[in-house]
Structure 1
Amino acid sequence: MTSKDCGHDDDDKKDTGRRIVGGIVTFIVLVLLVIFIIWLVLRPTKPRFILQDATIYAFNLTTPNLLTATFQVTISSRNPNNRIGVYYERLDVYASYHNQQITLPTRLPFAYQGHKDITIWSPFLYGNSVPIAPYLGSSLQLDQNAGLVFMNIKVNGRVKWKVGTWVSGKYHLNANCPAYITFGNRGKINGFNVASATAVKLQLSSGCQVDVAI
């Protein structure tokens, strides 16, 4: 074999490699283009959550900085999409105070939401003698004097989108619902206390910040 033949073989290999790389790039571009067109047509919008009300059965702070809390909250979710269904999977809801979780997570039942549908959950949230940071105990005392406690009801879990017979992979969903709880002067015993016999139900209608990510 002459040196010219070797040169032609090398050129053929380079051309073949370029064609393979070009084909892969073209395929990726076409896939991304199809995904972009589907997104433009469907315009997926994340669900909208609302914290409708909360019933407080117990909210007792005892020394040394132990908090016992029992709530029942009503949360609604609306699917705003015209062509996309939503599967809710592994959704957990809990209460937090100043970014510290104060109740155990409660698992919400699995739900499928069709176009423009609304789903309503009314879970109980429990926290028994939960240790809280000392500065939070002081903050609760101040809230006691003011008769107002600001908390967050949070929902964390996974969702999937459904278009026709196609179902997407799982996406992470986080909803943060602010809740201003007013206790007034009811049941103040040993710090900040709402006894179970004096349950307080509050109509909140608070919109929630919702984030959906891969």
Structure 2
Amino acid sequence: MVRDCGRHGEDHSKTLKWVGIVVGILIFLSIVVFIIVRFLVWCKNPIFILQDISVYAFNVSLNPNLLTSTFQVTVSSHNPNDNAGIYYDKLDIYAAYQSQRITLGSSIPPTYQGDNKDDIWSPFIYGTSVPVAPFLALALCQDQSVGSVLLTIKIDGRMRWKVGSVITGPYHLHADCLATITFGSGNTGIVVGDAVKYLLIQRCDVNV
């Protein structure tokens, strides 16, 4: 009795074909992962500098513990890479005091930054009658009486790298920019209209 092995040969051929496809996909994914890892190692993080901050209002009250503030901040961003562009898909800027957020966020329009290019933004950030913890309100009052309040201008958002025609997936960007606001006889600000402007030129701590 002779068995027909024709179908067995077809099944074996199909199996080899699918194995080849799977192997090809795995190789392609490995190459993509390798490229992305190389991007992360090779690309330098953008540099953010807090140029200045203009204070229009900064009033804290006790019982109830509320803070009202209005600032205009000038932030510059520099792309230090020679052959990599940066897409800023979303950036939000806000102020914090001792890790507590004290203003609403201001959004920066999406933008593309070419290699070795700079961008400057000057958004307004504000908070009206923002509830703060009692110990923070007391600390703010004490800092004001001493003559110096340390704020953190925070930047949160998403960005992508562009190298040639390859664009990576989105990455989270976080930057902390320290800003010292002075009061009383030690005030270092300059009166500009209804605001007091503090020239800072403070480099921010950036993590991607």
TM-score normalized by structure 1? Answer: 0.78
Tell whether 2:166 aligns with 1:170: no
Separation in 2, partners of 1:170, 1:142 = 42
Q: Rate the CA distance shift 1:22–1:98 in 2: closer, same or farther, 3 A.
A: same
Amino acid at match of 1:204: L
Tell me the equivalent position of 1:192: none
Separation in 2, partners of 1:169, 1:27 = 16
Pick from 180, 198, 201: which aligns with 1:202?
Answer: 198
Query: What's the % identity of the aligned pairs?
Result: 49
Amino acid at match of 2:195: A
How far the C-alpha of 1:170 sits from its partner, in A, is 1.7
Tell me the equivalent position of 2:70: 70
Amino acid at match of 2:102: I
Residues 48-103 of structure 1, C-alpha deviations (whole Å, 9 max, x = no match) = 00001111111001231110001111100000011111111221100000111111
Tell me the equivalent position of 2:83: 83
Q: Rate the CA distance shift 1:53–1:34 in 2: closer, same or farther, 3 A.
A: closer
How far the C-alpha of 1:30 sits from its partner, in A, is 3.9
Tell whether 2:98 aligns with 1:102: no
TM-score normalized by structure 2? Answer: 0.81
Tell me the equivalent position of 1:189: none
Residues 156-204 of structure 1, C-alpha deviations (whole Å, 9 max, x = no match) = 1111222233332222111111111112259xxxxxxxxx976221111
Q: Rate the CA distance shift 1:33–1:143 in 2: closer, same or farther, 3 A.
A: closer
Separation in 2, partners of 1:164, 1:175 = 26
SS in structure 2 of the partner of residue 142 of structure 1? helix
Separation in 1, partners of 2:87, 2:24 = 36
In structure 2, list runs of 5 or more residues that go unmatched: 187-191
Separation in 2, partners of 1:83, 1:51 = 25
Separation in 1, partners of 2:166, 2:31 = 19
Q: How large is the Cα RMSD of the aligned pairs?
A: 3.3
Amino acid at match of 1:103: T
Tell me the equivalent position of 1:54: 53
Say how many residue pairs are matched: 201
Amino acid at match of 1:110: P
Tell me the equivalent position of 2:180: 180
Contact (CA 8 Å) 1:57, 1:197: kept in 2 or not? no
Separation in 1, partners of 2:23, 2:168 = 29
SS in structure 2 of the partner of residue 136 of structure 1? helix
SS in structure 2 of the partner of residue 82 of structure 1? coil
Amino acid at match of 2:198: L
Separation in 1, partners of 2:66, 2:35 = 55
